[in-house]
Structure 1
């Protein structure tokens, strides 16, 4: 138990060190030594947990995505089965998404705004798409619906909203952001812009 707590504390210190360094310089210019100095640990301790800075970054990303998928599947499954309307299902998903982003704002800011690894955008879009397909249960012919273009539009829009929300200091609460996502998806952006 004590060792697990010590490991968690060390990993947290390493992550916070990376976050502080990314604010000062690009990820490419950050070395393992920089991270160790900032976290006040020795290199041996770092290498107990990560092979290099890229492994650290990959593990951070995978943990965020795994936790997000756990939220939208495990925590939402019972609630989704009760909800009949797609707007309610979308709002529930969007609320959970924004709450988790709010909780891990610094890490998501590093990945979505500072774009330390551009591939994270695609991985997040893939997760959103997978969940939306799960929620829609569409039996229509995807070729007829041009579902791939629609999904690309929606996932890009959601990730764009996440980026803007993080960039502007998360000025709106998660619930309000979720409501906005639902309104835009139901009414379309042009109708929302014109105030109809």
Structure 2
């Protein structure tokens, strides 16, 4: 992608990073919501961890960089909320 094409879609690299983070969060929570509640906890955890593994490069970049603290907090709190909601539904 050329520089001019990039700037047609994004103001700067931070806006691109924000779009990537939003997409990863959406797909993560979509993946979590697709886990059926009748499954036992270990199966659910295994499915989710396989999803993270399949997207390991992206998660590695977003979760292991100190400057992505906002994303890290968002994904952790979102997963916690999902787990708590599943517990209430059991």
Does the alignment reach a TM-score above 0.5? yes
Shift of 1:50: 1.9
SS at the partner of 2:66? coil
How many Å separate the matches in 1 of 2:88 and 2:66?
A: 33
Q: Which residue of 2 aligns with 1:114?
A: 65
Q: Which residue of 2 aligns with 1:47?
A: 7
TM-score if structure 1 supplies the norm length?
0.42
Among candidates 126, 133, 137, match of residue 77 of structure 2? 126
1 or 2 for the larger relative contact order (CA 8 Å, sep ≥6)?
Answer: 2
Shift of 1:112: 1.4
Rg bigger for which structure? Answer: 1
TM-score if structure 2 supplies the norm length?
0.84
Note the residue ranges of structure 2 that are not aligned, 5 or more in a row: none
How many Å separate the matches in 2 of 1:60 and 1:121?
A: 13
Shift of 1:93: 2.9
SS at the partner of 1:137? helix
Shift of 1:127: 1.1
Shift of 1:97: 2.1
Report if aligned partners of 1:101, 1:108 keep a CA contact under 8 Å in 2.
yes
Report if aligned partners of 2:62, 2:68 keep a CA contact under 8 Å in 1.
yes
Matches within 5 A, 1:30-179: 41-73=1-33, 75-76=34-35, 79-80=36-37, 82-83=38-39, 88=40, 90-137=41-88
Aligned-residue RMSD, C-alpha: 1.7
Report if aligned partners of 2:21, 2:71 keep a CA contact under 8 Å in 1.
yes
Report if aligned partners of 1:110, 1:116 keep a CA contact under 8 Å in 2.
no
